Amino acid sequence: MCTGGCAKCLGTTLIPLAVLCTLANILLFFPGGEVVEDNVHITDEVWYFGGILGSGVLMTFPALVFLGLKNNDCCGCCGNESCGKRFAMFSSIIFAAVGVLGAGYCFVLSAVALNRGPKCDTGTQWTYPFQDGNYLANHTLWNMCQSPKNIVPWNLTLFSLLLVMSGIQAVLCGIQVVNGLFGTICGDCKCCGCCG
């Protein structure tokens, strides 16, 4: 079944992306690679767990469903194996939608965090010294953050990775929505191949 093989390929790709998003979010709890003295010194968007919940945990469910679709016939349907596989492909559309929501959550949080900039010590107080992404093009503004050391490139790198990986996850889940529709309508399909 080509739609099942394609789903398995998508699931195989989503698992490492989910792990990487989780790790990136965990690293954001250590601004500049250091342990902070007070949790209020961590950028607010990190506490919304976009990489852990959105692109991590919520992405695990669709990935596992996609991995099992190639051999899943949902116990057949009144003894008709093709009907069961069609139902399994239809259910994958629902899980793909969950994946799109999770990836979208992480994507939006990462975009907001990149635009807002990191929370840092400016010498007088812990605040967000950057406005509306103005620091992205002007690297001299980065000197406004005195501690944690290298907080701007740290946050910029990790939130950019989360943005890109969650975007890829959303696209892959979108592909599964289309693949699931084909699998629901066509059932078994030996004539085409996506990844297997």
Give the domain ranges of the chain.
Answer: 3-28+44-72+82-186
**What does the alpha-carbon distance between residue 48 and residue 2 come to, in Å, rounded to a whole number?**
38
* CB 81, CB 19: distance < 8 Å: no
**What does the alpha-carbon distance between residue 108 and residue 162 come to, in Å, rounded to a whole number?**
10
pLDDT confidence band for 191 (50 / 70 / 90): very low
Question: Whole-number mean pLDDT of the chain?
Answer: 87
pLDDT at residue 116 greater than cutoff 80: yes
Mean pLDDT in residue range 72-87? 57
Mean pLDDT in residue range 3-22? 92
64-75: per-residue pLDDT in tens? Answer: 999 988 665 544
Half-sphere exposure of 84 (CA within 13 A, CB side): 13
